[in-house]
Structure 1
Amino acid sequence: MNLRQLAEKLNLSQTTVSRALNGYPEVNETTRKRVLDAAARYHYRPNYRARGLATGRAMSIGHVIPASNQPQMVNMIFADFIAGAGEVYARHGYDMVISMVRDEDELRAYRGVAEKGAVDGILVHSPTCDDPRIALLSQLEIPFLVHGRSSRVRSDYSWLDVNNARAFERATRHLIGLGHRRIALVNGQEQLDFALRRRAGYLKALRDSAIAPDSILMRTDEMSEPYGHVTASELLDLPDPPTAFLASSVVPALGIRRAIEERGLVMGRDVSIICFDDRISYLPNGLEAPIFTAMRSSIRAAGRRCAELLIDRIARPDSTTVTELWEAEFVQGQSTGPAPG
């Protein structure tokens, strides 16, 4: 069945049916539901190639990955985000275009895909605090959305982010409330905006409790299990070791736990851990009960929502920018307890 036949069965115009299927906001919900139900009943499958020719769209969304970030292609967090976005792209008939480029060619790659019309929109990953991609994409006048924020960029742009500062402030306060004073921060790479916000939340909680920050307890690197293990091993061997760790992901938290257990200590009794839990599909924080006390926000859900917001911007290019700030959920696990002694 083609679009014309579906429209005839519904006694609606082809334009109305097309807009209902593609999520245009001007179609009321009653009509949209009627169209979607009929499409399912008659097994209607849109011809995306024809739709692209008719609308002048490429029916593709771009993701540009520089060489220095290529390890994230096998990173579980990035993979889950892409999986969530991909679910939405497929539902709306969009292809995902991932371009791997040298670092020095990254801005040129954004300009190239925009000027060639190779994609209809771009999803920007891992923003820095003063990210030049935002100004460039605004000049190119291509729909784009940033997963995260760029602290020093004052221009108007669309983004979705987690309130990282508040999440880490809350996590640090929880540990302070348990009596911990030597709290280590095992952070992500601090050229990235999210990690700077997390450090800011951690420091604010310490200052508010009149605890002097100790630079030796603050580490930053790519969020891997070996990074968590090496860092925790070094810190636990100090003359005055931390009694608690705040980790930027469940992945380094696993390495921290390994270092704790290698020393014959018990997580949650001798040393506490709170981590940020992205609710990774292939690395759940426990099954029936959480292993780690955590600040939780699903990265897969973020991928879905970013894709939805970007597709809406593509459909309505003259709409105002949209921003969403998600609050992380506190989850009590088995990894925290009162400070020893």
Structure 2
Amino acid sequence: MNLKDLAASLGLSQTTVSRALNGYPEVSEATRERVAEAARRHGYRPDSRARSLATGKAMAVGLVLPMRARQEIVNPVFGDFIAGATGVLTTRGYDIVLAIARDEDAPALYRSMLLKGRVDGLILQAPLTGDGRIALLRDLGMPFVVHGRISEHDEAYCWIDMDNAHAFHTATAHLLALGHRRIALINGLEAMDFARRRRAGFEAALAEHGLEADPALMTAAVMTEQYGHAEAMRMLALPEPPTAFLTSSMLIAIGTHRAILARGLRLGHDISVVTHDDGLSYLPNGTQEAPIFTATRSHVREHGAICAETLMKLIGAPQTPPFHTRLEAPLVIGPSSGPPPVI
């Protein structure tokens, strides 16, 4: 199917369809979504090389993954995020330029992408607290959108983020309502803004019940199954072990569950676990009807799609003022949480 056929099937002009696919602001959101859906349904994808010659644009978006640990490239969160973003970009005739860089190398890479005209915009992933990349991209004048945010400059740029503090406040409140008082937090790297916000939500919920977080029951590191297992084993061996765990990812939760089983304990009876679930395609939390873990759920693939849609708008209208999308993560109740055992 070509552009003419797609426009005819929708009863729209070719110009309107082209502008909708390119994110021009004069096309209504309803029309843009209708055209994008039709393009996906019919498998229509504009020729990016031809459009690049016609428009003078690269017809590509850059995504630089942070290499903060060896396993980041196979992190299932990134995989689902990229899938969501690519699903939107391909219908608009855009390619995605994927790169991996250490934090200290990222500025040079962004400058190179801009100077060589390789991309028309950028998606910034996994921001750190006080992340200097945001100021750099603003100075470079490149359209960009951040998946996440940094607390010091929330209003100065476009971002899409889950309300991490609220999600972990809700999860902690759920455990407190069940009667737990010794609650452990196995968090992600707290140099990253999302993890710092999660800890803040956890501590705020405890404080509302007159409790202080026990440093022995809080830890932060790269989110892997092995990390979850090791930290849960350590905490369960304490003289006063936790009766519940709050974990920052499904991988950590799986490792925590393995530790619980190794100690001869029963999940949801002897020990409770509440986790965050990114709605991962290849690591699901059971099914919608029968989750394995009680979890705060926010689909990262949807985040990728929203980031791509937002960036398309910015590329089409670079003077658009910064706007923000804050997503909620509802608590899904599963069999992994229950009252603490009676001693």
Normalised by the size of structure 1, how large is the TM-score? 0.92
Question: Residue 86 of structure 1: CA displacement?
Answer: 1.1
Q: 1:291 to 1:14 in 2, by over 3 A?
A: closer
Q: Is the 8 A contact 1:278 1:297 kept in 2?
A: yes
Q: Is the 8 A contact 1:131 1:153 kept in 2?
A: no
Q: Distance in 1 between matches of 2:55 and 2:96?
A: 18
Q: In terms of mean alpha carbon deviation, does 66-75 or 20-29 score higher?
A: 20-29
Q: Distance in 2 between matches of 1:41 and 1:104?
A: 42
Q: Partner of 1:328 in structure 2?
A: 329
SS in 1 for 2:152: coil
Q: 1:56 to 1:270 in 2, by over 3 A?
A: same
SS in 1 for 2:98: strand
Q: Distance in 1 between matches of 2:33 and 2:201?
A: 44
Deviations 1:146-177 (A, max 9, x none): 00010123661000000000100111111011
Q: Distance in 1 between matches of 2:319 and 2:116?
A: 21
Question: Residue 49 of structure 1: CA displacement?
Answer: 1.5
Question: Residue 68 of structure 1: CA displacement?
Answer: 2.6
Q: Distance in 2 between matches of 1:289 and 1:116?
A: 50
Deviations 1:182-236 (A, max 9, x none): 0000000000000000000000011110012210100101111111110000000
Q: Is the 8 A contact 1:129 1:153 kept in 2?
A: no
Question: Residue 47 of structure 1: CA displacement?
Answer: 2.8
Q: Distance in 2 between matches of 1:33 and 1:169?
A: 34
Q: Partner of 2:183 in structure 1?
A: 183
Q: Is the 8 A contact 2:250 2:276 kept in 1?
A: yes
Q: 1:39 to 1:281 in 2, by over 3 A?
A: closer
Q: Distance in 1 between matches of 2:325 and 2:30?
A: 27
Question: Residue 329 of structure 1: CA displacement?
Answer: 0.9
Question: Residue 99 of structure 1: CA displacement?
Answer: 1.8
Q: Partner of 1:172 in structure 2?
A: 172
Q: Partner of 2:161 in structure 1?
A: 161
Q: Is the 8 A contact 2:162 2:328 kept in 1?
A: yes
Say whether residues 1:135 and 2:167 are aligned partners.
no
Q: 1:113 to 1:176 in 2, by over 3 A?
A: same
Q: 1:139 to 1:70 in 2, by over 3 A?
A: farther
Q: Distance in 2 between matches of 1:36 and 1:193?
A: 33
Q: Partner of 2:81 in structure 1?
A: 81
Q: Distance in 2 between matches of 1:10 and 1:294?
A: 41
Give unmatched runs, 5+ long, in structure 1. Answer: none
Question: Residue 6 of structure 1: CA displacement?
Answer: 7.6
Counterpart AA for 2:64: V
Q: 1:240 to 1:308 in 2, by over 3 A?
A: same
Question: Residue 44 of structure 1: CA displacement?
Answer: 6.5
Q: Partner of 1:293 in structure 2?
A: 294
Q: Distance in 2 between matches of 1:72 and 1:189?
A: 13
Deviations 1:292-318 (A, max 9, x none): 001100011111111111111111111
Q: In terms of mean alpha carbon deviation, does 135-144 or 86-95 score higher?
A: 86-95
Q: Distance in 2 between matches of 1:200 and 1:236?
A: 23
Q: Distance in 2 between matches of 1:40 and 1:235?
A: 49
Deviations 1:241-267 (A, max 9, x none): 000000001111011111111111111
Q: Distance in 1 between matches of 2:41 and 2:291?
A: 42
Q: In terms of mean alpha carbon deviation, does 274-283 or 104-113 score higher?
A: 104-113
Q: Distance in 2 between matches of 1:234 and 1:332?
A: 27
Q: Is the 8 A contact 2:25 2:316 kept in 1?
A: no
Q: Distance in 2 between matches of 1:212 and 1:38?
A: 53
Deviations 1:257-297 (A, max 9, x none): 11111111111010000000111111111134011001100
Q: Distance in 1 between matches of 2:34 and 2:232?
A: 57
Q: Distance in 1 between matches of 2:249 and 2:148?
A: 16
Moved beyond 6 Å, runs of 4+: 4-13, 29-44
Q: Is the 8 A contact 2:155 2:322 kept in 1?
A: no
Say whether residues 1:60 and 2:60 are aligned partners.
yes
Q: Is the 8 A contact 1:61 1:94 kept in 2?
A: yes
Q: Distance in 2 between matches of 1:137 and 1:316?
A: 17
Structural mapping, 1:143-158, within 5 Å:
143-153=143-153, 156-158=156-158
Q: Is the 8 A contact 2:144 2:158 kept in 1?
A: yes
Counterpart AA for 1:325: R
Q: Partner of 2:206 in structure 1?
A: 206
Q: Distance in 2 between matches of 1:307 and 1:30?
A: 17
Q: Distance in 2 between matches of 1:40 and 1:184?
A: 44
Q: Partner of 1:111 in structure 2?
A: 111
Provide the aligned length of Structure 1 versus Structure 2. 341
Structural mapping, 1:9-48, within 5 Å:
15-27=15-27, 46-48=46-48
Q: Is the 8 A contact 1:127 1:192 kept in 2?
A: yes
Counterpart AA for 1:145: V
SS in 1 for 2:153: coil
Q: 1:6 to 1:309 in 2, by over 3 A?
A: closer
Counterpart AA for 2:230: V
Q: Is the 8 A contact 2:187 2:248 kept in 1?
A: yes
Q: Partner of 2:196 in structure 1?
A: 196
Q: Is the 8 A contact 1:273 1:336 kept in 2?
A: yes
Deviations 1:97-129 (A, max 9, x none): 112234432111111112222101100011011
- Structure 1 or 2, whichever has the larger Rg, is 1
SS in 2 for 1:68: coil
SS in 1 for 2:68: helix
